[in-house]
Structure 1
Amino acid sequence: MNYDFIPISQRKPLRWPNGKRLAIILTTNFEYWDAVRDTPKPYYPGGPSIVGGDLPGNVYDNANYTWREYGQRVGVWRMFDIFDAEGVPSSCTINAKMALERPQVVQAALDRKWEIVAHNYVQTELLTDNMFDEDAERDVIRSTLKVYEEFCGFKAKGWLSSSLRSTLNTIDILAEEGLIYICDLLNDDQPYMVQTRSGKPMVSVSYTSEVNDFSFLRQGLGAEGGLQMFKEQFDWLYAESAHTGKFMNIGLHPHVIGQPYRIRALRDFIRYAKQFEDVWFATREEIATWYMQNHESHIETGRA
């Protein structure tokens, strides 16, 4: 993995297409967890647990499994209703097993022509499990991309690793497999180019672990507190974007934001942001494709 360190103060102003100044990415994570794994080691389910304490992988954790499944059965459909009513798209990440085990959810996003981002084979499997075995990591990525293409009918363009746990080889493998953007690098409010060993282009379009509905859990936020977090992020970035374009990502999980007492934060934020005509509700692929063609006007290639 190789990218130049160019502080934002040393970049040229970024100008989004059509006069837009702030891009908003509403990321909904469609994630599938196996109920058990054949291991006595603690089972890493991804994200905070609603009931604390680690159980071995071969012991069924009913509370946490069914809490997360609430998002698939109920919460995500509440989110779909809001996105439909407000007329905005979501950028949806999917585990391969989500397509295999919960196809109704993924198909609903496809029917809406929303962006689908590859997100590992299953949420409980981390690419870092294969940190020292590149061939095994490539097999996981290829298996994920195969299911993606078979279900979606087109090839994936972008990738988000489960729990953001990628390796030093991940970006190079993704480029060699034909993908054009990665979400794992949490270090920017703007896209930038990542160098790859094959020379194939790769754009970083950062996800966020900060402006994320998991913050509702970590900080004990209700709808009003969560809405304030979203608006604070938006207002500051919007002010900065008068000089140079920025993007704002919100990470969403149907079992968290899809709860009735939290969902209003999402709806009210969307309504707030829609009041600004120069805000762009974008997909990552739109951002990555545009940036590959325009990055020289922002950050000169090879500058370090």
Structure 2
Amino acid sequence: MEYDFVPMPDRQPLIWPDNKRLAIILTINMEYWDPVQASDKPYYPGGPGIVGGNLPGNVYDNPNFTWREYGQRVGVWRMLDLFDAEGVQASCTMNAKMAVERRAVVDAAKERGWEIVPHNYVQDELLTDYMFDETKERDVIRRTLDIYEQTVGKPAKGWLSSSLRSTLNTIDILAEEGLYFITDLLNDDQPYMVRTRSGNPMVSVSYTSEVNDFSFLRQGLTVETGFAMFKEQFDWLYEESATSGRFMNIGLHPHVIGQPFRIRALRDFIRYAKGFEGVWFANREEIADWYLKTHESHITPKA
């Protein structure tokens, strides 16, 4: 996996379909955590917990497990109602165990025709556990893709790793498995091409750890300051997009933003963004497909 360092001033203007200015990707992360792990090492939670302290993996952590399960039982349905009411789509990510253990949530996204992106096998397992064993890493990816295809009904096209913890081999493996966009790289507001050892194409469509509902927990944001974060990101990118297209991703977790005292921040932002011309509520596949056809007019490939 390799990509060129091309600073923003060295690129040509990025032109979105229909001359849109700013693509907004609203990511709903549909994630399942095992109640316990087969290890006495500290449990890796894949995000902030609601109760602090590290328990061994083989010890059940009731408050954190059931808090996350709130998102599956209640929070995600509140989010779906909001998206339906506002008439916008989500780009959903799904780990394989979510399809096995919480199929109703996945089916609800499928019924709406929303994008679903594979998101590892289970949330508490990381690809970096297999940094030095590519065979085992490929096995996790293939098991994930098999369940994805059985559940979604078609092969996957992109990928998001649990906690964004991919290895130097991940993108090459994904390209060899027929995928063509990756979300793990956090380094841009525009798509770009990644070179792979197979020569198969790979588009980076960045996720974000900053404009993310985890900021409500990490930074103590309220509804008003959370909305202000979303709005500030949007306003600056929208201004920049007058000369070259940008995308804006918001990472959303049903057990966080799906809480009644937080969700208004998301609703108010969607309504705010809908008031601007040239805004495209997009999914990653749409962006990757468009960029595969147009990338040479944006960033000239190096010899």
Give the TM-score normalised by the residue count of structure 2. Answer: 0.99
Alignment match, 2:218: 218
CA distance in 1, matches of 2:284, 2:184: 12
CA distance in 2, matches of 1:144, 1:302: 34
Alignment match, 1:91: 91
Alignment match, 1:13: 13
Alignment match, 1:233: 233
CA distance in 2, matches of 1:236, 1:137: 39
Percent identical among aligned pairs is 77
Unaligned runs of 5+ in 1: none
Alpha-carbon displacement from aligned partner over 1:126-148 (angstroms, at most 9, x marks no partner): 00000000000000000000000
Give, in angstroms, the shift of residue 223 of structure 1: 0.7
> Paired residues, what number?
303
Is 1:46–2:46 an aligned residue pair?
Answer: yes
> Over the residues paired in the alignment, what is the CA RMSD in angstroms?
0.6
Alignment match, 2:77: 77
SS in 2 for 1:29: strand
CA distance in 2, matches of 1:155, 1:269: 33
Give, in angstroms, the shift of residue 68 of structure 1: 0.3
Give the AA of the match of 1:177: E
Alpha-carbon displacement from aligned partner over 1:13-51 (angstroms, at most 9, x marks no partner): 101010100000000000000000111100101100110
Give the AA of the match of 1:102: R
SS in 1 for 2:4: coil
Runs of 4+ in 1 over 4 A off after TM superposition: none
Give, in angstroms, the shift of residue 52 of structure 1: 0.5
Give the AA of the match of 1:120: N
Alignment map for 1:139-288 (pairs within 5 Å) = 139-288=139-288
Comparing 137-146 with 273-282, greater Cα deviation is found at: 273-282
Give, in angstroms, the shift of residue 232 of structure 1: 0.1
SS in 2 for 1:46: coil
Alignment match, 2:66: 66
Is 1:57–2:88 an aligned residue pair?
Answer: no
Alpha-carbon displacement from aligned partner over 1:156-186 (angstroms, at most 9, x marks no partner): 1110000000000000000000001000000
Give the TM-score normalised by the residue count of structure 1. Answer: 0.99
CA distance in 1, matches of 2:52, 2:302: 47
CA distance in 2, matches of 1:166, 1:153: 25
Alignment match, 2:138: 138
Unaligned runs of 5+ in 2: none
Alpha-carbon displacement from aligned partner over 1:86-111 (angstroms, at most 9, x marks no partner): 00000000000000000000000000
SS in 1 for 2:190: coil
Give the AA of the match of 2:101: E
CA distance in 2, matches of 1:113, 1:301: 34
SS in 1 for 2:209: coil
CA distance in 2, matches of 1:192, 1:152: 27
Give the AA of the match of 2:43: Y
Is 1:102–2:102 an aligned residue pair?
Answer: yes
Give the AA of the match of 2:9: S
CA distance in 2, matches of 1:184, 1:302: 23
SS in 2 for 1:168: coil
SS in 1 for 2:65: helix
CA distance in 1, matches of 2:70, 2:87: 24
Give the AA of the match of 2:4: D
Give, in angstroms, the shift of residue 277 of structure 1: 2.4
SS in 2 for 1:277: coil
